Structure 1
């Protein structure tokens, strides 16, 4: 069996829609009976999950009944303590009552925990859900050398150390869906009619043809996507639904990255730490600039690194500089230019903003 239920905890079963539907409506009974047979070590956890789901269902049903709480408590008192004020509650009944109260308290805590602190979406759950529809191949890399994986469409994945990658032998006619735990670099073959998806924890990356890096270990507190070339869109997927939600997509361009905080479920778009040239300097491209407006050099840097640089061109019109461009990181070269014209720069929303007062 290709499922990975050996990694499931109680909370994971409670948050698995298919499991809940089986318990409540007996859906896919043959499948779940097979899970019980294949994972004997998980039977106790599964039984606990079944009991909790059934108790929650019963509690929900009772909540809908019209109950007069005041009359109910009066009736309880009249049949217990108030029936004979001189006679105390028997010791056995007292301990039974305490046990019931403790069980009820635990039940409420578990219910609140499940409702308000849902489990993280991890690789095992993603693969389990996807394998219900299509058999997957899994590759695991334990070595220091990246493992090269070539997919049927010509796309190439370089799987890094302590990482897992699952994919179907044959993609569907509508999309190319893959699943990652860990870190990998992707070079995706272009196909506008069949988008490529990488599901990594709660984050989904959708591309048509580009290269990018994803870091998404199950135990990490964040998921990171860095774009090398081309363009991708990412979005938070929770619960698991394997469908693009274009209303929440965040588009990334070269040298941009997104960081997803798994605790706050927030997406942060920014530049990578060291933006590098999208392509090396061509032999015919101008390297040396002598006595030219600073804006001319800034425009050249924008094209080479694919990063938007904001500045007031009119304010910089009198700033004339002489400089040489190289293949050094963008921020290093921008720092030299800013020092030359008495300006500073800062990053804002994955862009670089040059702040200057002008030149005499």
Structure 2
């Protein structure tokens, strides 16, 4: 069971530790997590709540390029510079990955982070291997490559520098205007058709965004970043995702109209997904922030997911069925037509790839 607080945890998406049970981990007492316990003790003693601090652990993996064979995603390889994400989006489908490390998909996921400082060096070694065949590398498939700690670690920038040097194509998905910190690299890569950037805009309401994704850039900043990237000649895509029934769907037309004004020619949407521990975390979030409509939201979610909180199956997980998604598709189509947005596709150039130097020598042929 999850302990539901009557007041939200400020600055965080998850409202508790939400200890996973899929792997038989021992349950924790009090509020489900020691962090909650410390906060409770502080309140009982009359003091202010203890602020949840973010910690970062550096790790040194032996490989960095991950391959997948999923038939419903547009990439077959990805790089994730970080594990965990301080943005704290309560709906994040990547939260369950923390459970594999005996950490909470709740508050641990957004406060106990892991960074991979050697990611760029590992990527360089991988790209230099004999027989390597280039295809676009996806950044931001699990956790955001431009979350706040990127400001100090600059791992994503180092990865982009390797890709620019080797003329290797890259796609980026983010919720942060911090992507503009690498505008120089992105503009240079765009000139050779080596990069495309997707920025997710969930709503146009900064108050709602502060509850839903508390440490992300405000919606206005994300829109401004899209406009700036357009000016730089970088191919951009606006992802209206996830669309949450009765919470964010009211913003569909407004977002499409705004990005069209900025010159964005590619827009898409993804429905809310609630795999594993994300479902109870999201239910808890609803109970804290929107108790009056929690039942309605979850009723629609179950309706479009075949009576379940989540549909894990390939293809259908991104293609919900029923009256509600049909209505969203119709609204989306009409809004795009009204805004003059077509179906832009980004075909990045893999033909310019040149294997990197490793240890001061070119790759042996």
User: Quick check: TM above 0.5?
Assistant: no
TM range, smaller chain: under 0.3
Name which one, 1 or 2, has greater alpha-carbon Rg: 1
Higher relative contact order (CA 8 A, sep 6+): 2
TM-score using structure 1 length:
0.25
The structure with the greater share of residues assigned to strand is 1
TM-score using structure 2 length:
0.24
